[in-house]
Amino acid sequence: MRHYAAYGSNLDPARMRAYCPHSPMVGIGWVEGWRLTFAGEEDLGWEGSVSTIVESPGDRVFVALYDVHPWDAAQLDEVEGVTAGTYQKLTVRVSTLEGDVTAWVYVFDGYEGGLPTAWYLSEIANAAEKAGAPDDYVAELRARPTRTAAP
């Protein structure tokens, strides 16, 4: 399987081109039955939590689909924290206007909880906008609560 479903800052096609120059964006869609959330604040010791998705009947997550070339796959795993054990890869079904496709997502390997920083949430909302997410989805992202960074 070569399709990767990006839901966080990797929604931004320019960002993905930098990480994976041989892997074009090939579409957009929704991962049904999952929701975007945040995790890892306690585990990682960062200023805020990182994005992840969790199963949640009735919810859905907007994604950009990338056709990841084998040359880029290892680089993406490294960048996304699979190599370090922070994230794991799961296969999900993505609903697109052309039909359903399977793709992998990166899911935080730990418990949900914590808040993202305002900067990080803004990065995700901007990336979603660049990928063509509906205005109401982007507005919901921007309205989420954030954590104030430690001085």
**Does the annotation flag 66 for ligand binding?**
no
Q: Identify which of 86, 97, 106, 94 has the alpha carbon closest to the alpha carbon of residue 19.
A: 106
**Does the annotation flag 120 for ligand binding?**
yes
* Rounded Cα gap, residues 131 and 26, in angstroms: 11
**Does the annotation flag 64 for ligand binding?**
no
Helix (H) or strand (E) holding 19: helix 13-19
Q: Is 80 a catalytic residue?
A: yes
Catalytic residue, chosen from 41, 78, 80, 123, is: 80
Rounded to 10 degrees, the C-alpha dihedral 133/2/19/71 comes to: -160
**Does the annotation flag 6 for ligand binding?**
yes
**Three-state DSSP state, 70:** helix
**Does the annotation flag 111 for ligand binding?**
no
Q: Which residues pair with 29 in a beta bridge?
A: 63
**Does the annotation flag 23 for ligand binding?**
no
As annotated, the binding site for substrate includes 4-9, 120
Which residues form the catalytic set? 80
